[in-house]
Amino acid sequence: MEKIVILTGAGISAESGLGTFRDEGGLWSQHRIEDVATPDGFARNPQLVQEFYNARRQQAATAKPNPAHVALARLQAEWPGEVILVTQNVDALHEKGGAQDVLHMHGTLAGALCAGCGHRWTAPDTMRVGELCPACGAGGGRPDVVWFGEIPYFMDQIYAHLGAADLFAAIGTSGNVYPAAGFVQEAAMAGAHTIELNLDPSEVVSNFAETRFGPASKTVPAWVDELLRR
């Protein structure tokens, strides 16, 4: 049965009230990436970085999944073949919508990482500068989020899934950031049908065989209904 691989970005969580990065008024118009999403930024001003992620963690904690998240969970539950969900998002809305085994390639707001020993634990609502690591006791606690210049997680698994995909969908991502923006080409080389579901054309829209424009809360449930009616 067909294997489906799905990549999601901030756009799928927009209608749940979580800001995107590059839309009008997005997160990168409020903060400089180099100040809040790089290891240098954290070294320079850990307070600013902890506060940036504390605010996002607290906002994400109360956000609700929208019909797009719920539809993808239904697809996972009802599709007879494999449905692999890869997300660039650090919120937990896929899981809140019922999805399983989501591959968070950019980490999660709920996770904490020790910059010293690599230990991971569940982040407190508010992380402080010098957050103590429960394993090594040092004060290197940071959000377990992949910053620019760092290696995204699960890449070997993701490329293996893309190489075996029959259908690849990118949902709510602008195609500005690699390696995620290159996944469509990997899937197409493996012979997959490729579809982009987005509010506006992404930077890599020309690499997709099919495109559907509109808000994810409308386009994704309709797309899932079509697949499950096949």
Q: Does 176 bind ligand APR (CB under 6 A)?
A: yes
Write down the least CB distance from residue 138 to ligand APR, Å. 26
The two three-digit tokens of residue 9, written as one number? 């970005």
Q: What sign for the dihedral angle of Cα 60, 168, 75, 78?
A: negative
Question: Among residues 76 and 89, whose Cβ is nearest to ligand APR?
Answer: 89
Going across the sheet that includes 210-213, the strands are: 103-104, 83-87, 4-8, 167-171, 193-198, 210-213
103-104 and 83-87 strand pairing:
parallel
Judged by CB under 6 A, the chain residues 11 through 30 that form the site for ligand APR are 11, 14-15, 20-23, 26
Retrieve residue 202's tokens: 């992404």
> Residue 113 belongs to what H/E stretch?
strand 107-114
Q: How far is the CB of 136 from ligand APR (least distance, A)?
A: 27
Assess 67 for contact with ligand APR (CB under 6 A): no
Q: Which of 5, 7, 9, 142 binds ligand APR (CB under 6 A)?
A: 9
69 is catalytic: no
Show Cβ contacts of residue 61 under 8 Å, excluding neighbours closer than 6 positions. 125
* Residue 216 binds ligand APR, judged by CB under 6 A: yes
Strand partners for 6: 85, 169
73 binds ligand APR (CB under 6 A): no
Chain residues in the site for ligand APR (CB under 6 A): 9-11, 14-15, 20-23, 26, 88, 106, 172-174, 176-177, 198-200, 202, 215-216
Q: Which residues are catalytic?
A: 106
